[in-house]
Structure 1
Amino acid sequence: MEQQGDLIKNPHDAHKHLRDSAPVQRITGPSGEPAWLVTRYDDVRSALADPRLSLDKANAAPGAYRGLPLPPALDANLLNMDPPDHTRIRKLVSRAFTPRRVEALRAPIRRTADALLDALGTEGRTDLIAAYAAPLPITVICDLLGVPEDHRQDFRAWTNELIAPDPSRPQAVKQAIGAMLAFFTGLIAHKRRHPADDLLSDLISARDTDGDMLSEDELTSLAFLILGAGYENTVQLIGNAVYALLSHPEHLERLRMDPSKLPEAVEELARYEGPALLAIRRFPTEDVTIGDATVPAGETVLLSLSAANRDPRRFAHPERLDFDRDTSGHLALGHGIHYCLGAPLARAEAEIALAALLERFSTLTLAEPEPHWRPSLRARSLLDLPVEYKAAPPRA
C-alpha cells in the first residue's frame, strides 16, 4: 500500500528509485494480486512490441491481475485482443483517425474550444478541467461517434468510477458498468433504426452487412472503447499539459509568443506528464526475460509509460520540461501494434486547446499551490485545475 501511495502522490520519484534499484520488480498489483512492474525505457519499449506478451485474458494464469472485470459485451475490445482479431477490428476503425480526417476536424474542434472559452467570460476563476479540458474532448468524440448530447455528462461520471474505483464503494463500479452497458446497447439499437453520418452508424452497417467482420459484442465493446479512450486520455493530456505550463510560466510565455512551437511542445508535454502511468496489462505466453528478470508465463506484466519517459538513459535531464529536445520515441501514447489508435486526434485536440487558451487569456495562473491528482494507479489525471484568468485585450 505504501508503494501505491507513492506512485499516486509523486510517481516520478518512485519511478526513479525503481529504475535505479529494481527496474523489473514483482509487486502487489492494483487489486492485491501479484504483478511485474517494468520501469526502464528500453525494457518497456521492447515489451510493448513483444508478441509473446499477450493482451488476451485467456493467457492469464490463475490468480493473476487481469484488470477491471467487464461483461462480455464491453470486454471484447482491442485492449483485450491479439492478432488476428486485433488486426481485423483495428482495420475497421482506423480510417476514422487518418491524418486527412483529423485535419478536417480541426475547424470544428476550434469552434468548440472557442465556445467553451466564451462561456468563461473575460475574467474570473474556474476549474479548467470541468469547464474546458473535459467538455472539449467529450464533445469531439461524441460528435464523431454520434452520441446524443443529453448523455455526455453521465458518461463522464461513469468513467470516473472505472478509472479510480473506490474500494469502499464496490457497488458504484458495478452500477457504472451496468449503466454503460445499457447505454451502449440502447444507442446501437437507436442507430440501427435511425442511421446517421457518424462512425457508430458506419460500424453498425459493417456488422449488419458482414457478421464475420464484427460480432455484436465486438461492436458494443468497440463503441465503449472509442468513446472511453478517445475522451479520457485527451482530458488527461490537455489537463496535464496546462498544469505543466502554469508550473513553468516561462514556457507558457514562449508558446504565447510563438504558437508555431505548439506541435513540438505537445510532444514534450506528453513525455513530461503524459495521460497514462501504465500501459494495459500483459500476460506472457511463455517464460520471458525482461531486463535481468525472468517472468513466468501467465503472470501479469505492467509497463510503466511514465517511468520510461523519464528514463535518463533515453532522455537527457528528463525531469526538465524542454521544448527543444528530441522527443521522438516517447511512449506516452504507446508503441507497437497497440499504439493509440486515436493519437492523431488527441494531438490535434491538445494543440488546438492550448492555442485557443493562450490566445484568449493574457493572464492565466494557478489558483491553488498543490494539484489534486486522481487516486489512480493507471491514469495520470487531475481531479480539478483551479485557475484565475483575464482575457487579452481585443486586437486593433
Structure 2
Amino acid sequence: MAEPIISLLDPEFEDDPVGALARLRGMSPLVRIGFPGGPPVWLITRGEEIKAALNDSRFVADVSKVPGHQGPSIAEEALASLDLPVEMLSYFRSNLQVQDGESHARLRRLAAPAFSGRRIKALRPRIEETSARLVDELAQKGSGDLLRDYSTPLTGAVICELIGIDEADQPQLRKWMDEYASADVDFSTSIRELSDYLKKLIQRRRAEPADDLVSALVQTMDEDGDRLDEAEVISTVAVLVNAGYHSTAHFIPNAVLTLLDNPDQLALLRARPEALPHAVEELMRIATPLPATGPRYATEDFEFAGVSICRGDAVTGSLLSANNDPRLFSEPERCDVERVLKPGEGHLAFGAGPHRCFGASLANLEGEIALNHLMVQRDSLEITVSRSRLKYRELIPGGARMLSACPVRL
C-alpha cells in the first residue's frame, strides 16, 4: 500500500506547526509529505533519527551521486523556473551545502578557519559596539522595526566584516539579501548583481589582500594544490553571507518574543545575566527560524528507522519537530533557560553531522549580545502590535519561517 502523502499547505501547519508535527511524530519517524509541483519527500520527524540520517553516508546532498539518477535536484528544479544564466547554476552546484564527502570537506576546510574560536572571540568588541549603537539609535527614535533597525544591520555588518565585504558596500549587500528572501521580488536580478559584485571583489582582493575570508579563498585560487575555481569562491561567499545574515537576524526577534512570553525566565536572566550564554542554547532550540534540513537523497535501497527507503528518494529532517521531541527533551514545550543537557544531547538548530553549521559559535555570540542589550540591560522593550498582527513569510512550504516586520518601542 502506498504511503499517504501529507500536504504542508494544510492549515494546521500554519495555525499550530508544533502541534501538527507532534501528531506526525506520533505516527511514524518518517512520513511522506508533498510540495506543490514537486515530488513526494520523506520527512523525518524524530530527533535521534534526524541525527542518524545526517551522519549516514548513504544519504547525500548532491543528487548526482545517486547511481543511475538523471535530472536536476529539487532545488535545481526550483532555480530552473527563475530563468537564470547557466553560470548561476554552476555557482549553485559549487555550493558547499550541496557537496558531499571529500569535495564538501575540502570546501569546509578552507572556509571554516574564518569562524575559528579565536576569530569569533576577537569579534566580540566590534559586535558589542555595533549592537550598542543600534540600540541607542532605536531608543532615540522611540520606536521602529526590530528587524530593519537592529537585527539585520547587526548581523549584516558582522558577517560582512568577517568575510571581507567593504563597509561602504554593506547596505547594497543587505538589499540583495533581503530581496533574495522576499517572496514579492524577482530575486534573479539580485543574484546576478551579487555574483558580478563578488567577481569584482575577487579582483580587488587579489590586488590588495586583507585579513578576511575572501582574501584567503583568492589565495587558494592562485596556488597549486588544493586550488579553488571562481565558481567555488563565489558560491562559498554567497552561501556564508546569506546564512550568517538571515538566520541570526530572524532568531533575535523570535528570541525576544519567547522571553516576553516567559516573563519568569526573563526575570531570571535579568537577575543572573551571566546565564545568558547558556540561555541562548535553549532559545535556539525554541526560536530558530530554520525548521528543516536541506534535502538528502538515498544512494541505495535500504531500511531506515523501520521504513523502506528506495534509491533516489529525498528525505528532509524537521528541526522544529526534533527540537520539540520529548524523546530528547523533558517538557520540550517549556522554556527553561537553566536547562542542562549532557554533551551530545543539545538542540538541532544548527543541524548535525558533516554539514553542521560552523557558524554556530558566531550566531550564539550575536544572540547573547543582542539579548543582553535589548532585554537584560533595558526593561522597556515592547512589541507595539498584537501577536495576531505579526506577519510571517515562507519562500517554500515548510521552509524558513521569517517575520516580515517586528514593530517595537524601546
Deviation at 1:329, TM superposition (A): 2.3
Deviation at 1:229, TM superposition (A): 1.1
Partner residue of 2:394 out of 350, 375, 391: 375
**Whole-angstrom CA distance in 1 between matches of 2:200 and 2:16:** 41
Which moves more between the two structures, 323-332 or 344-353?
Answer: 323-332
Q: 2:294 matched to 1:273?
A: no
Q: Equivalent residue of 1:362, what SS?
A: coil
AA aligned to 2:75 is R
Deviation at 1:30, TM superposition (A): 5.9
AA aligned to 1:375 is E
Q: Deviations over 1:97-141 (max 9, x none)?
A: 121221111111100101111211357222111111111110001
Q: Deviations over 1:315-364 (max 9, x none)?
A: 11111111122343211111111110111111111111111223442212
Structure 1 residues 344 and 115, CA, compared in 2 at 3 Å: closer, same or farther?
same
Who is 1:129 aligned against? 147
Structure 1 residues 7 and 180, CA, compared in 2 at 3 Å: closer, same or farther?
farther
Deviation at 1:185, TM superposition (A): 1.8
Structure 1 residues 173 and 75, CA, compared in 2 at 3 Å: closer, same or farther?
farther
Who is 1:225 aligned against? 239
1:303-322 paired onto structure 2 within 5 Å: 303-322=317-336
Q: Equivalent residue of 1:84, what SS?
A: helix
Who is 1:263 aligned against? 277
Partner residue of 2:195 out of 163, 181, 188: 181
Deviation at 1:204, TM superposition (A): 0.6
Who is 2:46 aligned against? 40
Who is 1:7 aligned against? 13
AA aligned to 1:178 is R
Deviation at 1:37, TM superposition (A): 0.9
**Whole-angstrom CA distance in 2 between matches of 1:30 and 1:320:** 34
Q: 2:363 matched to 1:346?
A: yes
Q: Deviations over 1:130-162 (max 9, x none)?
A: 111111110001111121234333333433444
AA aligned to 1:72 is S
Q: TM-score, normalised by structure 2?
A: 0.87
Who is 1:57 aligned against? 63
Which moves more between the two structures, 176-185 or 344-353?
Answer: 176-185
Q: TM-score, normalised by structure 1?
A: 0.90
**Whole-angstrom CA distance in 2 between matches of 1:317 and 1:30:** 34
Structure 1 residues 163 and 9, CA, compared in 2 at 3 Å: closer, same or farther?
farther
Structure 1 residues 146 and 194, CA, compared in 2 at 3 Å: closer, same or farther?
same
Deviation at 1:2, TM superposition (A): 5.7
Structure 1 residues 335 and 224, CA, compared in 2 at 3 Å: closer, same or farther?
same
Deviation at 1:46, TM superposition (A): 0.8
Q: Equivalent residue of 1:381, what SS?
A: strand
AA aligned to 1:220 is I
How large is the Cα RMSD of the aligned pairs?
A: 2.2
Partners of 1:133 and 1:235 within 8 A in 2: yes
**Whole-angstrom CA distance in 1 between matches of 2:73 and 2:214:** 34
Q: Deviations over 1:281-310 (max 9, x none)?
A: 111111232323222111211111111110
Q: 2:292 matched to 1:291?
A: no
AA aligned to 1:362 is D
**Whole-angstrom CA distance in 1 between matches of 2:159 and 2:122:** 14
**Whole-angstrom CA distance in 1 between matches of 2:394 and 2:91:** 27
Partners of 2:61 and 2:297 within 8 A in 1: yes
Structure 1 residues 63 and 182, CA, compared in 2 at 3 Å: closer, same or farther?
closer
Who is 2:110 aligned against? 92
**Whole-angstrom CA distance in 1 between matches of 2:205 and 2:12:** 45
Q: Equivalent residue of 1:363, what SS?
A: coil
**Whole-angstrom CA distance in 2 between matches of 1:352 and 1:195:** 30
Which moves more between the two structures, 46-55 or 9-18?
Answer: 9-18
Q: Please list every run of 5 or more consecutive structure 1 residues that lacks an aligned counterpart in the other structure.
A: 390-396
Identity %: 37
Partners of 2:7 and 2:33 within 8 A in 1: no
Q: Deviations over 1:173-209 (max 9, x none)?
A: 3223222222222222222233222221121112112
Structure 1 residues 112 and 184, CA, compared in 2 at 3 Å: closer, same or farther?
same
Partner residue of 1:82 out of 91, 100, 115: 100
AA aligned to 1:107 is P
**Whole-angstrom CA distance in 1 between matches of 2:111 and 2:182:** 28
Q: Equivalent residue of 2:274, what SS?
A: helix
1:130-279 paired onto structure 2 within 5 Å: 130-163=148-181, 165=183, 172-210=186-224, 212-279=226-293
Which moves more between the two structures, 120-129 or 133-142?
Answer: 120-129
- The number of residues matched between the two structures is 385
Structure 1 residues 183 and 9, CA, compared in 2 at 3 Å: closer, same or farther?
farther
Partners of 1:374 and 1:380 within 8 A in 2: yes
Who is 2:3 aligned against? none
Structure 1 residues 312 and 141, CA, compared in 2 at 3 Å: closer, same or farther?
same
Who is 2:75 aligned against? 66
Partners of 1:66 and 1:300 within 8 A in 2: no
Q: 2:405 matched to 1:384?
A: yes
Which moves more between the two structures, 353-362 or 314-323?
Answer: 353-362
Q: Please list every run of 5 or more consecutive structure 2 residues that lacks an aligned counterpart in the other structure.
A: 1-5, 80-87
Partners of 1:158 and 1:177 within 8 A in 2: yes
Deviation at 1:29, TM superposition (A): 2.7
AA aligned to 2:8 is Q
AA aligned to 2:103 is D
**Whole-angstrom CA distance in 2 between matches of 1:381 and 1:308:** 19
Structure with more contact order per residue of length (Cα contacts < 8 Å, sep ≥ 6): 1
Partners of 2:138 and 2:150 within 8 A in 1: no
**Whole-angstrom CA distance in 1 between matches of 2:173 and 2:309:** 37
**Whole-angstrom CA distance in 2 between matches of 1:386 and 1:45:** 37
AA aligned to 1:65 is I
